[in-house]
Structure 1
Amino acid sequence: MTTQKNGTVFIEISDFLLNCFLRSPNWQVWLSLPLSLLFLLAMGANAILLITIRLETSLHEPMYYLLSFLSLLDIVLCLTVIPKVLAIFWFDLKSISFSACFLQMYIMNCFLAMESCIFMIMAYDRYVAICHPLRYPSIITDQFVIKAAIFVLSRNVLMTLPVPILSARLYYCRENIIENCMCSNMAVSRLSCDDATINRLYQFAGGWTLLGSDLILIFLSYTLILRAVLRLKTEGAMTKALRTCGSHFILILFFSTILLVFILTLVAKKKVSPNVPILLNVLHHVIPAALNPIVYGVRTKEIKQGIQRLLKKSW
């Protein structure tokens, strides 16, 4: 299909091709097995966690509702990215339509931002639990969770909506090969015949506004928690307090470490293989999702006991 703009004739393209590891195709062979295992682990572990929290009345508390929200986000992110990546690895199904590509782009941006926001709210939950334990039942209530969920959805749905819209409005008339395993905003807009400066600026400003503000508040919460813990004089109180927020802190490390390494490799892209950012981008959508429910299941006594009770009932 052809179109004309400013006197120049363009040949419009109707779909994209995802080339994951164009320079090192053998990566796909050895990566497909661990990636599929991680995907199954993420789906299974998050499903078990959701079922446990749903069926065990003792887990019907605000903290576990937030954890359920996090598991739902992990499941959607995995289903949005990993099946398509595996289809490319196994069946060479590289083609993706415009609408599917921009939908995937939106879900990735929106749900990653929602995960970051959930971590921030969970950090506030831990801050209240340790620094204001007597007020915790009156502050962290079911109503608080509902308001937090509305805030997470409204903030991130609206703030990330311009990302696919700005990309979709561009003209794509030359190459249609995306050098990535997924439809990231920059990888797609780079193929456009138009100026994509606005896309880059919004991606940068929006990303640092959403993720940056969440990380600052998380850091502030844990600074206050650490200060409160160091003031505890009761024997064993410090250990108990640190154990209370240990699982959550590990989840934040999973999420932020891979994201930080991914950003650093993009900044130093001339010094690293082009495949490294692509690999980290894929892993960031599956490793935290696979490990989050396991960490909470292993480190949280109530969840561990709930899973054990469900297993006994099933047998």
Structure 2
Amino acid sequence: MMLTSWNSSSHPVSFILLGIPGLENSHFWIAFPFFAMYAFTVLGNITVLHIIRIDQTLHEPMYLFLAMLAITDLVLSSSSQPKMLAILWFCAHEIEYHACLVQVFFIQAFSSVESGVLMAMALDRYVAICFPLRHSSVLTPSVVGKLGSIVMIRGVLWVSPFCFMVSRMPFCHNLVIPQSYCEHMALLKLVCADTTVSRGYGLFAAFSVGGFDIIVISISYVMILRAVLQLPSGEARLKAFGTCASHICVILAFYIPALFTFLTHCFGHHVPQEVHNMFANLYLIVPPMFNPIIYGVGTKQIRDKVLQGCC
């Protein structure tokens, strides 16, 4: 039986991450597809970053936001996947207390950052399609940098309070987390104190950040749809829709599993633990893996550079 020790303060030395409960006998084999997806995530996003860095013609708002998305995906997936693979392959279930809090911070903060980058990309598409002649003057490199900084600062500021609140709470002697990474709501279930304020703030932060971004994205695409339908030719409308298709796919790949994971943590008491754990893991690895594929296939400039490098 795995045990954890306590230090002189109210918090434990470490927690136990179970991985994927109910599928312990298959952990070794489950790790292989997860490793392949993580390796492709790293390779794909580094490739996108390299192409954007070396090609001066790609130093435009759309590609600068794509570079931000690639960096965010690398941080988000690397915050959880190495530890998950260590659990599945080497039974390294123990995670140190402060390392667990750091993991919570990075996963929550960069989930917020990814949502913000997707919102910024929607604004970029709105300006490019609705005001094409003013696109370069409105979204200058300075503006793009400021948007990226605001998104990053927002993620840090929104996440820091509930990480601080959790660090001040006493934990019960049950220190087992039934998943493969530390998550805010999962940690609160181990606290021996009233967690109403921390839970409330977690819900507020998630819905205020995600809700705001989804509203801005939705309004942007309503305006884009109106502008596209007013274009005179079918070819022009098809081209305009094509520039948005990749972004829409990325939005759906991120928000659908994210909302499912968050809502089942809060309200899905009847959802089997195995289903929740699989979605929680896929949420952190599938979108970062698919983003370079979607943009690599859907963006001619990046696709041509990748093909040139392979030939």
Relative to the length of structure 2, the TM-score reads 0.94
- Shift, 1:221, TM fit: 0.6
Asked if the contact 1:21/1:27 (under 8 Å) is kept, the reply is no
Asked if the contact 1:13/1:173 (under 8 Å) is kept, the reply is no
How far apart, CA to CA, are the structure 2 residues paired with 1:30 and 1:261? Answer: 25
Stretches of structure 1 lacking an aligned partner (at least 5 in a row): 5-9
How far apart, CA to CA, are the structure 2 residues paired with 1:172 and 1:56? Answer: 51
Asked if the contact 1:19/1:179 (under 8 Å) is kept, the reply is yes
Asked if the contact 1:167/1:199 (under 8 Å) is kept, the reply is yes
Asked if the contact 1:171/1:192 (under 8 Å) is kept, the reply is yes
Equivalent residues in 2 for 1:1-315 (5 A)?
Answer: 1=6, 13-266=12-265, 269-311=268-310
How far apart, CA to CA, are the structure 2 residues paired with 1:220 and 1:26? Answer: 47
After the TM superposition, which of the residue ranges 244-253 and 255-264 deviates more from structure 2?
255-264
Asked if the contact 1:106/1:163 (under 8 Å) is kept, the reply is no
- Shift, 1:38, TM fit: 0.4
Distance 1:266 1:157, change over 3 A: closer
- Shift, 1:234, TM fit: 2.3
User: Partner letter of residue 82 of structure 1?
Assistant: Q
How far apart, CA to CA, are the structure 1 residues paired with 2:229 and 2:174? Answer: 58
- Shift, 1:27, TM fit: 4.6
Instruction: Indicate the SS of the match to 1:134.
Output: helix
How far apart, CA to CA, are the structure 2 residues paired with 1:267 and 1:158? Answer: 22
- The match for 1:7 is none
Asked if the contact 1:265/1:276 (under 8 Å) is kept, the reply is no
How far apart, CA to CA, are the structure 1 residues paired with 2:48 and 2:213? Answer: 25
Asked if the contact 1:170/1:189 (under 8 Å) is kept, the reply is no
- Shift, 1:99, TM fit: 0.8
Aligned pair count?
Answer: 306
Asked if the contact 2:62/2:124 (under 8 Å) is kept, the reply is yes
Asked if the contact 2:159/2:205 (under 8 Å) is kept, the reply is yes
How far apart, CA to CA, are the structure 1 residues paired with 2:62 and 2:192? Answer: 48
Cα-to-partner distance string for 1:169-201 (whole Å, 9 max, x where unaligned): 111241111112111011112111121111111
Cα-to-partner distance string for 1:124-150 (whole Å, 9 max, x where unaligned): 000011111111111111111111112
After the TM superposition, which of the residue ranges 15-24 and 99-108 deviates more from structure 2?
15-24
- The percent identity for this pair of structures is 35
Instruction: Indicate the SS of the match to 2:16.
Output: strand
How far apart, CA to CA, are the structure 2 residues paired with 1:201 and 1:185? Answer: 12
Asked if the contact 2:73/2:288 (under 8 Å) is kept, the reply is yes
Asked if the contact 2:170/2:191 (under 8 Å) is kept, the reply is yes
Asked if the contact 2:12/2:97 (under 8 Å) is kept, the reply is no
Relative to the length of structure 1, the TM-score reads 0.92
Asked if the contact 2:41/2:74 (under 8 Å) is kept, the reply is yes
After the TM superposition, which of the residue ranges 111-120 and 180-189 deviates more from structure 2?
180-189
Instruction: Indicate the SS of the match to 1:96.
Output: strand
How far apart, CA to CA, are the structure 2 residues paired with 1:288 and 1:264? Answer: 18
After the TM superposition, which of the residue ranges 26-35 and 216-225 deviates more from structure 2?
26-35
Distance 1:132 1:204, change over 3 A: same
- Shift, 1:267, TM fit: 5.5
Instruction: Indicate the SS of the match to 1:236.
Output: helix
Distance 1:189 1:24, change over 3 A: same
CA RMSD across the alignment = 1.7
Cα-to-partner distance string for 1:219-271 (whole Å, 9 max, x where unaligned): 11111111111111124110010011111111101101212332454466343
Asked if the contact 1:49/1:293 (under 8 Å) is kept, the reply is yes
Cα-to-partner distance string for 1:68-127 (whole Å, 9 max, x where unaligned): 010001001111100100100000001111110000000001000000000000000000
Stretches of structure 2 lacking an aligned partner (at least 5 in a row): 1-5
